[in-house]
Structure 1
């Protein structure tokens, strides 16, 4: 990681793909964590934060800030709030959904994932600034992967926390398009916004921080063109990512239970409809596609994750 580009008071906890990266910010007036990982890793997230606090002689965590409310970015919220009595700040557009814990608006049931219920005390409003550790960060709207996602930009040090709007070699699944809502144009607009910023270091939601913004933007735009040119491509890609993600959590699973999960996950049923497949056909295709890609293998009646 190009740590020389990180100013004092910022540390990145690079996580595996089940949990989003965590960014630890600390200063005299504030200690904050951006994104909290998946609930299955919540104990590790607590340990990472506690170790960082001890390392720097800090007594408390003020707040957790979520770039968006997918389960891999906020699944540790409830555990961190209990462990550290910290506040939680979320994108403003998600306020009512979190307050009511509205399963129809939140993504967890739709994507077949889990997230322990949490409450929020702060809102992230695009165009405003938020203090994270020692530095002010501008909140930027970043729709596409998620309609309500935000990024965080530190102009003085030219650092962008891009969440899943931009990775070194792409971006997060364009989920809205899987159920008939717009997403492709929103991704394009978000990439244009990133391109307009002065950035020396990008801290993505997944993968190591990187510096070659021009190359990553070119890769992302090429990927977007590929997906947007055929709606079925995005549906197939999103379906495979969702099953792979769940399999990372499971490690292995009886095929009957895998198929039961597929049948009960609304986003996957939307993908099946998009691809004109009935449920049994779609279940068979999805498992075989993951195996064919080298991301999984079938051992007897069990689907097994391959790194």
Structure 2
């Protein structure tokens, strides 16, 4: 970007990466996990941008690792938030399906979407313009942001440098893989010099990464069980991160309370949930997604354990009280 700076923050789980557009109208793209709100604020201040200067937070989609900091920044500083209109509507009425938080068992504190985005909308930062591209698949309201002059793409969880976002066939539809492929095809026609995704490092060769992601998804079309395995391992790994592991004796009872686990067991693998527990645990160990440490199952990906209070939070959209959002 010619007159504005793009500052990329590659963050450890449970937070997603963030992008800060430093310009006359500073824009923050995604806000991390709720337990990391203080760190989100610290990272911004380290660039010389104070939270109260933010013109807008733009969410690529509404999963907890991307929107968790919204509550803190909106309540404390009155920052406005933008998201795709389909997700915005669910958020603003506190729908129990919002953020898939109930189904995933992920805590998210309340926030409101002030600006509802549609495909081809433009977001002005002062000296640059970001184009909103509706790129559904990972979620139905997933968006990417494109700056054509500098050929920069911010692609959320549609694809990563060496991976793709997991697909939620039970909340986003069984056609989510076809939607993802169509979204990738759309992006492949753009001139992209570099891309920033929701997880992992900056993508230096975006078109090669898009081709790899598309190839993987095409293989999944004939082996749909791989879609489910990919999702189960990522969902359960994230759970282990936000809970800083689970003691062996509590795993069975915990999994049996989870909507995602029930759905994948019964409908993807045609098993009773009780039968699926040892199979999932074996696959978590075999694949290296988790390991046992002192009778506790721990995620192997690098992560920052949330504070103790966050390990016991159970805030979901059905519990949201929007009155708490008035700035101090």
Q: Is residue 35 from structure 1 mapped to residue 30 from structure 2 by the alignment?
A: yes
Give the equivalent residue in structure 1 for 2:288: 294
Cα distance change on mapping 1:58 and 1:98 into 2, 3 Å? closer
- Alignment partner for residue 74 of structure 1, among 67, 70, 73? 67
- Alignment partner for residue 99 of structure 1, among 92, 100, 104? 92
Q: Is residue 22 from structure 1 mapped to residue 18 from structure 2 by the alignment?
A: yes
Q: What is the RMSD computed on CA atoms of the aligned residues? A: 2.1
**Contact preservation (8 Å) 2:139, 2:172:** no
Q: Is residue 280 from structure 1 mapped to residue 282 from structure 2 by the alignment?
A: no
Give the equivalent residue in structure 1 for 2:117: 124
Residue aligned with 2:113, SS: coil
Task: Give the C-alpha shift of residue 167 in structure 1.
Answer: 1.1
**Contact preservation (8 Å) 2:7, 2:21:** yes
Question: How far apart, in 1, do the equivalents of 2:115 and 2:207 lie?
Answer: 34
Give the equivalent residue in structure 2 for 1:306: 300
Matches within 5 A, 1:1-307: 8-28=4-24, 30-52=25-47, 55=48, 60-132=53-125, 134-176=127-169, 181-273=174-266, 274-299=268-293, 301-307=295-301
**Contact preservation (8 Å) 1:36, 1:73:** yes
- For residues 215-256 of structure 1, give each alpha carbon's deviation from its aligned partner in whole angstroms, at most 9, with x where no partner exists: 212210221022221121111121111111111222221123
Cα distance change on mapping 1:59 and 1:81 into 2, 3 Å? closer
Cα distance change on mapping 1:37 and 1:57 into 2, 3 Å? closer
**Contact preservation (8 Å) 1:178, 1:270:** no
Residue aligned with 2:46, SS: helix
Residue aligned with 2:169, SS: helix
Residue aligned with 1:107, SS: helix
Question: How far apart, in 1, do the equivalents of 2:289 and 2:206 lie?
Answer: 28
Question: How far apart, in 2, do the equivalents of 1:266 and 1:240 lie?
Answer: 15
Cα distance change on mapping 1:7 and 1:295 into 2, 3 Å? farther
Question: How far apart, in 2, do the equivalents of 1:63 and 1:208 lie?
Answer: 24
Q: Which has the higher contact order (CA 8 A, sep 6+)?
A: 2
Name structure 1 gaps, 5 residues minimum: none
Residue aligned with 1:199, SS: coil
Q: After the TM superposition, which of the residue ranges 105-114 and 275-284 deviates more from structure 2?
A: 105-114
Task: Give the C-alpha shift of residue 99 in structure 1.
Answer: 1.2
Residue aligned with 1:176, SS: coil
Task: Give the C-alpha shift of residue 100 in structure 1.
Answer: 1.2
Task: Give the C-alpha shift of residue 112 in structure 1.
Answer: 2.0
Cα distance change on mapping 1:133 and 1:40 into 2, 3 Å? farther
Question: How far apart, in 1, do the equivalents of 2:293 and 2:18 lie?
Answer: 35
Task: Give the C-alpha shift of residue 63 in structure 1.
Answer: 1.6
Question: How far apart, in 1, do the equivalents of 2:135 and 2:21 lie?
Answer: 21
- For residues 125-158 of structure 1, give each alpha carbon's deviation from its aligned partner in whole angstroms, at most 9, with x where no partner exists: 1111111353111100101111110000001110
